[in-house]
Structure 1
Amino acid sequence: MPHIDYYFATLSPFTYLSGTRPAEIAQKHGATINYKPLDIMALFGRTGGTPPKDRHPNRQEYRLQDMERRAKLLGKPLNTKPMFWPTNGAPSAYAIIAAQNTGADVAELVLAFGAACWAEERDISQDDVVRDCLEKSGFDPALADKDMLTSAETFGKNLEDAVNAGAFGAPFFITDTNQRFWGEDRIDDLDAYLSGNI
């Protein structure tokens, strides 16, 4: 059975734009998928990346244009300069980790956090927003406070795993054959690879 490690950040607009497609592709190919939320700014620092605010204006302007185009192509609402970004992504990541530890599919929860930040002008670092996203995705809101030490440890380990596996951005997909796919716009390539077409 194929396996996909999905490294992502709840603060990433391109994670939001990925929607539930990673889960759909995994299901299509009978693959397992492990959601591995991480600190994207720390990942940048560890792998030679630059936070958006520190990039050259040319890169910043391109990023905004690219986000707008991708959102339109995907039919998703998106505010390229949301009110609550950047913010602390750890609480939402901890909730995803706790939810995944129940054995449930967290695709809708990942999407809910992305939509809250990038389409709904909500601060995903806040407890009420975290609980609301959990509840709307079919989880017990109390997961927001469950096994936080374990979630914090997993969050830190995900960063180390990402660096060791060769990831450097988000979303980043790595198969069990060590094929790496970076970016929302490479999800179709992941699908083609798992289909044996590339």
Structure 2
Amino acid sequence: MARIDYYFATLSPYCYLAGTRLEDVAAKHGATINYKPFDLAQGFGRTGGVMPQDRHISRIEYRAQELPRQAKKLGMPFNLKPAHWPTNGAPSAYAIIAAQNAGGGNLGLLVHAITRAVWAEDKDIAQDDVIRGCLSEAGFDPALADSGLLQGAETYARNLEEAVEAGVFGAPFYLVDGQRFWGQDHIDDLDLFLQGKL
């Protein structure tokens, strides 16, 4: 059975646009998903990337066109300039780590609820009430927002180190059987790889 290491950032618009398509692909192939939230800003700094606001104007303008196009293509609501971005993504990442350790809910739905809160609902995912709401929506105990913070911080930091070591330089990023897939627009390629066609 294949295992997909899924590196993602709760503040990434592209992780939001991934929706739950990864979970659909994994279910189709009987694969498991290892959810690995990491600090994308730190990852950029260590792998030659540049934060969106610091990029050349041509890249900034392209991003401003591409994100709404992708959202429209996927039929997903999207706000290019959300009210609470950037914000502190660590608390939501810690909650995802705690939920993965606790079990009992739908992790894919949790990740999507958190990213949707940023990019479609103008919510601040650094706020405990927002995180609790997302945990509840995904079938987890909302008290997980307040538990395992030390373990969450340690795992979050370790995920960054593992991401850099594994060649991850953006998000969403999917690794399976030594193959790397970058971007929500490559989920179909991941599907084809798991079918043995790539």
| Common topology (TM > 0.5) | yes
Per the TM alignment, residue 74 of structure 1 is displaced from its structure 2 partner at its CA by 0.6
Aligned to 2:114: 113
Per the TM alignment, residue 138 of structure 1 is displaced from its structure 2 partner at its CA by 1.2
Q: Which amino acid aligns with 1:162?
A: A
Per the TM alignment, residue 103 of structure 1 is displaced from its structure 2 partner at its CA by 2.9
- Summarize the alignment of residues 63-102 of structure 1 with structure 2, pairs less than 5 Å apart: 63-102=63-102
Per the TM alignment, residue 163 of structure 1 is displaced from its structure 2 partner at its CA by 0.3
Q: 3-state SS of the aligned residue for 1:101?
A: helix
Counterpart check, 1:151 vs 2:148: no
Aligned to 1:44: 44
- Summarize the alignment of residues 1-198 of structure 1 with structure 2, pairs less than 5 Å apart: 1-104=1-104, 105-175=106-176, 177-198=177-198
Structure 1: which 4+ aligned runs deviate by more than 4 Å?
A: none
Q: Which amino acid aligns with 2:81?
A: K
Equivalenced residues, count: 197
Per the TM alignment, residue 44 of structure 1 is displaced from its structure 2 partner at its CA by 0.2
Q: Which amino acid aligns with 2:83?
A: M
TM-score relative to the length of structure 1: 0.98
Q: 3-state SS of the aligned residue for 1:77?
A: coil
- Say what the alpha-carbon RMSD is for the aligned residues: 0.7
In structure 2, how many angstroms separate the alpha carbons of the residues matched to 1:26 and 1:64? 30
In structure 1, how many angstroms separate the alpha carbons of the residues matched to 2:64 and 2:192? 28
In structure 2, how many angstroms separate the alpha carbons of the residues matched to 1:141 and 1:3? 28
Specify every segment of 5 or more residues in structure 1 that has no aligned partner in the other structure, as ranges: none
Per the TM alignment, residue 135 of structure 1 is displaced from its structure 2 partner at its CA by 1.0
Per the TM alignment, residue 147 of structure 1 is displaced from its structure 2 partner at its CA by 1.1
In structure 2, how many angstroms separate the alpha carbons of the residues matched to 1:79 and 1:2? 35
